[in-house]
Structure 1
Amino acid sequence: MDISLKPIIKANYEAVCDLDVAESQQDFVACNMWSLVEAQFNEGYVTRAIYQAGNVVGFFMWVKETPSKISIWRFMVDEKFQKQGIGRFALELALAEIKTDTAIREIEICYNPNNPVAKDFYASFGFSEVGMDEDDEDMLAVIHVSP
């Protein structure tokens, strides 16, 4: 599968902003444009466009919360490209990139507990649920990275 992650730059930011999920998923995913603004003005935010065969099909954003912890804040695949295995392959790439930082010991992700697909999907990568987040809105799941 021809999937890659590339930095968000002037040449691709509009394509990232144009991505969207199905209407039934709107409550589970933040706006990509807002995420790009957040990343532009905050330290430690990393954004990646998900490419398939040269086309922007999805988006990631993760944040270095502490020297040893990364939180994946945004992850989406455009509705036209879902159910093709792109998200699974892209998450593998993102986790591999995150783990290149040898100081990272914990990778976390939050998701809406009413999202029926999220729990099993993230568990298949080794994420273990640890409870609700501090706002008691999203489920928090974590991967512990060995040194």
Structure 2
Amino acid sequence: MSIYIEEVNKGNWREIAALEVTENQKDFMESVSFCLAESFIEQLTTSLGLYDDNQPVGYAMTGFYFDEKRSIWFDRFMIDRRFQGQGYANQFIPLIEKYIIENYDVQIIRLSFVPGNNPAEQLYKRHGFVRTGQHDSEGEIIMEKHL
């Protein structure tokens, strides 16, 4: 495997927009197309394509950087349904953290997950994220990692 991250741009947005989660995961995240549109319109986030040997296998979003708190959101993380169960999530989280550290002056990375999405919570715990006891405006459980 030769995995890497590439910011979504004019050349790759269509292949990233085509990524999908499994049917039973659709309640846990907006579609990638919606995320790309939100990122483009609000311009507060950066959309990231997750690749293995030039094959798009996933998507993530970073943004909503808060200078005074030196915190940022790692958001909308997904691996395409065709590539799940192959270890990609565990491999990409450290790469996304590295991308964040290289592009932002941060001390805290925050994320959220839909209550009941236990696999997501366990994945994030393995990578050092802990619950904050807070929920976001959508009722999702917030976790964070101090660097």
Q: How does the TM-score come out when normalised to structure 1?
A: 0.92
Q: Number of residues paired by the alignment? A: 145
**Among residues 62, 67, 71, which one is paired with 2:73 in the alignment?**
71
Q: Given residue 121 of structure 2, which amino acid in structure 1 is its aligned partner?
A: K
SS in 2 for 1:117: helix
Decide whether aligned partners of structure 1 residues 10 and 102 sit closer, same or farther in structure 2, where only a CA change above 3 A counts: closer
Equivalent runs, 1:74-93 vs 2, <5 Å = 74-93=76-95
Instruction: State the distance in 1 between where 2:83 and 2:43 align.
Output: 31
The structural deviation recorded for 1:135 is 2.9
Structure 2 unmatched ranges of 5 or more:
none
The structural deviation recorded for 1:136 is 6.2
The structural deviation recorded for 1:44 is 3.3
67-76 or 130-139: which moved more? 130-139
Instruction: State the distance in 2 between where 1:126 and 1:20 align.
Output: 26
The one-character-per-residue Cα deviations of 1:51-72 (angstroms, maximum 9, x if unpaired) are 0111111101111331111111
The structural deviation recorded for 1:119 is 1.5
Aligned to 1:22: 22
Q: Given residue 126 of structure 2, which amino acid in structure 1 is its aligned partner?
A: S
Share of identical aligned residues, percent?
25
The structural deviation recorded for 1:132 is 3.6
Instruction: State the distance in 2 between where 1:22 and 1:136 align.
Output: 22
The structural deviation recorded for 1:48 is 0.8
Q: Given residue 18 of structure 2, which amino acid in structure 1 is its aligned partner?
A: D
